Structure 1
């Protein structure tokens, strides 16, 4: 990796893979998007998917260190389920890496699960509930053959997310930015701001245009916000809210 580019390791949302991030273009100068692939999808389709977020972090952390080394700076980004995975990775890597910033997107703070669940529903109800949660439905699930192929992975990801309970531990000591689509009907502003309790360092809350899956339609806006946060510390744009150092 170029020493002038800061790697941003990206964790996928439920049912998606590294290909979602690989398709991103127009990445701002100085930033390198590095998708992390999870088992059970795309080129790792034959591998069993993760079922526990903290165990997933223990597997993924060495992969990151192998790519960047022990001291080289990098940042983490994750959306929805990916936010939980990125947070667990930050905890796993805390104090023994060059991790500079954690970006969590479209997710309540890690101590709060959903009141409504999709796990355990039959296929049609499950897909309807997931679509209701995200206000988004991928066209692949309208194809019977593709749905049969992809549904087990989506179920595994959703169950991992819905069953996630963080193990108690000290707060992080790096900046955390919580991002949310301004029209997100799944995650409220108050829920997105719960992340402030996860760090002793600076916390920033940012709203971007769109709903829960805002990053599907406007990755450029997201990447610009990420780059701004990395360059400007805790500087926030008009309409966002900045929190100072917090202890959890």
Structure 2
């Protein structure tokens, strides 16, 4: 029997599980893509979004464990906000003796480094401009008042929990970590992305793909290829 790998994907700020749905087709049956579903979006849109990464991880880990198949290999992936959320999930899963094969962190400085430029607390238009600067693009839904009303509270909450993130532990994971970055990312420098070397006692690798902070929009196939690396 072929052992399946569950790729548990933690979302970046403002994203929902549906961002990772196209990855399922790209996985081609080799991996099972399992998005982490946070409150405030999609099926959980009526629920209050989290404003603390550690709280989000603690309240998500039971769902992650429940969705895992027997003896299924686990790889954690997270981009930007999702990187630190995946890191916290790694700690929680390890504490439960759930074997994590690998942690792939994307578009993120090391977990102990906080952003110098922040969006939290800015007036609406300044906030959206700062988020656009961070992401490198503006989501067209934000130009529609009704959609903006739905998206903005989640985006604000996500930015707040990312920018105020403090790791739950100073202890590194005993899980191999691969840090990935867009080669022209203006938000996360190469040296910052390589800070993840200090977050593991196991193997560390660093990979760059062409593109900016949101390189993964066009590089899903390449990111999935890292699972076998």
TM-score band by shorter chain is over 0.9
Q: Look up the match of 1:6.
A: 5
Distance, in Å, in 2 between the alignment partners of 1:169 and 1:191 is: 17
Report the Cα distance in structure 1 between the residues aligned to 2:154 and 2:68, rounded to whole angstroms. 29
**Deviation readout 1:98-155 (Å, 9 max, x if unpaired):** 2111010000001011111101111110000011112121111111211111101100
For the aligned residue pairs, the C-alpha RMSD in angstroms reads 1.6
Q: TM-score, normalised by structure 1?
A: 0.87
Determine the C-alpha separation between the residues in 2 that align with 1:79 and 1:67. 21
Counterparts of 1:176 and 1:218, CA distance in 2:
19
Matching residue of 2:155: 154
The TM-score, its normalising length taken from structure 2, stands at: 0.94
Structure 2 residue matching 1:98: 3-state secondary structure: coil
Matched, 1:145 2:156: no
Q: 1:91 matched to which residue of 2? A: 91
Question: Contact (CA 8 Å) 2:4, 2:73: kept in 1 or not?
Answer: no
- Please identify, of 130-139 and 23-32, the stretch whose mean Cα deviation from structure 2 is larger: 23-32
Q: Quick one: distance in 2 between partners of 1:106 and 1:32?
A: 22
Q: Which residue of 1 aligns with 2:57?
A: 57
Secondary structure at the residue paired with 2:67? helix
The 4+ residue runs of structure 1 with deviation greater than 6 A are: none
Query: Structure 2 regions of 5+ residues with no counterpart?
Result: none
What is aligned with 1:132? Answer: 133
Could you tell me which residue of structure 2 aligns to residue 236 of structure 1?
A: none
Structure 2 match to 1:34: 34
Tell me, in whole angstroms, the C-alpha distance in 2 between the residues paired with 1:161 and 1:215: 19
State the 1:29 CA deviation. 4.9
Query: 1:77 corresponds to which residue?
Result: 77
Q: Which runs of 5+ in 1 are unaligned?
A: 230-248
Secondary structure of the equivalent of 1:99?
coil
Tell me how far apart the structure 2 counterparts of residues 16 and 213 of structure 1 sit (CA, whole Å): 12
Report the alpha carbon displacement of residue 72 of structure 1 after superposing the two structures with TM.
3.3
**CA shift at 1:189, angstroms?**
0.3
Q: Deviations over 1:24-68 (max 9, x none)?
A: 332255222111111110010011111111111111111121122
Cα distance change of structure 1 residues 58 and 3 upon mapping to structure 2, 3 Å threshold:
farther
1:227-238 paired onto structure 2 within 5 Å: 227-229=227-229
The total of aligned residue pairs comes to: 227
